[in-house]
Amino acid sequence: MNPVTYFALLLFSFSWHTPTPSVKMGNDPQPAQECKSHFDETLKETVYTGVEKEPEYPGGAPAWGRYINRNLNEANLDPAQDCKVKIKMIVDAAGQIKKAVAIHGDTEVKEPNANEKEVLRVYLKSGFWTPGTCGGNKVTTEFVQSFTPCIK
């Protein structure tokens, strides 16, 4: 594994978000978690933002690292540009990526730089993900992941 890929994998592993599951005590019934949602006009469906479990690449962080190692094209990266890329994605209940955009803060990037383009290319090529869940059901989920594909 070359140093750039190793560094990207290492940073990604620290940014991988896994929510802490709730623990039921005794026989007390616990109310189902209320998940935040909004209607997405472009997709014409309800999209959840606060879910019990966010979507993840099949096999989790180790499989994602192997995928990145095989698919990230370092020749497309520009270390002179910002190397931290934030991607906002929508993954539907079947696990398909419906939307992926680079963001700065909360704002979608209209013209992605070289690093953002390469990371988006890799994400969009990644195939089906394990969908997010709310109330134990698979739901269309919007979430953000940070990715650092290069070393300055």
pLDDT single digits (tens) 54-69: 999 999 999 999 999 9
Cα–Cα nearest to 79, from 148, 1, 3: 148
Which phi and psi (to 5°) does residue 91 adopt?
Answer: -115, 125
Burial 106-140 (b: 16+ CB within 10 A, else e): eeebeebeebbbbbbbbbeebeebbbbbbeeebbb
Alpha helices by DSSP H, listed for the chain, are: 3-15, 60-71, 114-125
Burial call 55-74: b when 16+ CB within 10 Å, e when fewer: bbbeeebeebbebbeeebee
From the list 58, 53, 61, 63, the residue with the least C-alpha distance to 20 is: 53
Structure-token pair, residue 34 = 């209320």
Residue 152 has what pLDDT?
56
pTM reported for the whole predicted model? 0.77
Token pair for residue 144?
Answer: 């953000």
CB 74 within 8 A of CB 5: yes
pLDDT at site 150: 78
Q: Which tokens go with 36?
A: 């935040």
The residues of the chain scoring below 70 in pLDDT are 1-33, 151-152
